[in-house]
Chain A
């Protein structure tokens, strides 16, 4: 095959690749945008300076197939202007957990109020926003 033949082949190949991508990518993107998140709920009480308390959470899988949660974290919001979120630390998920189709799974993280948390944090309520990542096993 001469140089013209090679160029033609490359052009046809590229056109085919673009056509396949044009058809498949929007579907993949729309699939991802429709994905329902797994939900996280739970709370912790009784925090005081230096205390390490269990944050008992329930993870709920809304899908008709099992999922494997590989990461889970909590972002801590300010309780008030004088009791900032950095006074509270929350651990991350230690090891992945699998949740059955449309099932629940309990996990425990640790919530620790720093030893120097100010008196303004007495009786405070910190907002926890959860994030996480799961895959289909």
Chain B
């Protein structure tokens, strides 16, 4: 009897071991695709109007490839004669979340403005320069 019981135990263990593969039956998943990051467009051509030492700059909205509007811009003032970039003053300095800004305290001279789209930490290319604007003090 003990021999038969032992044999039954051995067979049961063997069957359990063999059927183990069925119990953990699974199948894998597979596939490939892509995740694409935004392409920043170049800025549009701004227009600039001087009133005393203030220059109001306006530019067209830039649109991302996904159809969304660019949320912010960076405005840069250039010396129209030398082409050298200047430090843009308040309130056109830094990141502008609008389509216009008015730079105040602009020194006398002939200036041009360029605008670049900004998306979080990414900065797009500057667009064409505005027509020259003359500030007379």
Interface residues of A (CB under 8 A from B): 1, 5-6, 8-10, 12-14, 16-17, 20-21, 24-25, 28-29, 31-32, 35-51, 55, 59, 63, 67, 69-72, 76, 79, 88, 90, 111, 113, 115-117, 119, 121-136
Contacts and interface: CB of A to CB of B under 8 A. Distances in A.
Which interface class (under 10, 10 to 19, 20 to 34, 35 or more) fits B? 35 or more
A35 B26 CA distance: 9
Name, among B4, B9, B32, B66, the residue most crowded by chain A CB atoms within 10 Å (CB to CB).
Answer: B32
B121 A40 contact: no
B29 A76 contact: no
Contacts of A125: 34-37
List 3 tightest A-B contacts by C-beta distance, closest first. A132-B29, A13-B10, A17-B14
B21 A122 contact: no
A119 B37 contact: no
B18 A21 contact: yes
Given A13-B11, A16-B11, A25-B21, A44 B29 contact: no
The main secondary structure of chain B at its interface with chain A is: mixed
Given A21-B14, A45-B36, A125-B35, A39 B29 contact: yes
B37 A47 contact: yes
Contacts of A69: 29
Contact of B66 (A17, A42, A46, A116): A46
A5 B121 contact: no
A137 to B, nearest CB: 11
A55 B35 contact: yes
Given A16-B14, A45-B36, A133 B26 contact: yes
Contacts of A121: 37
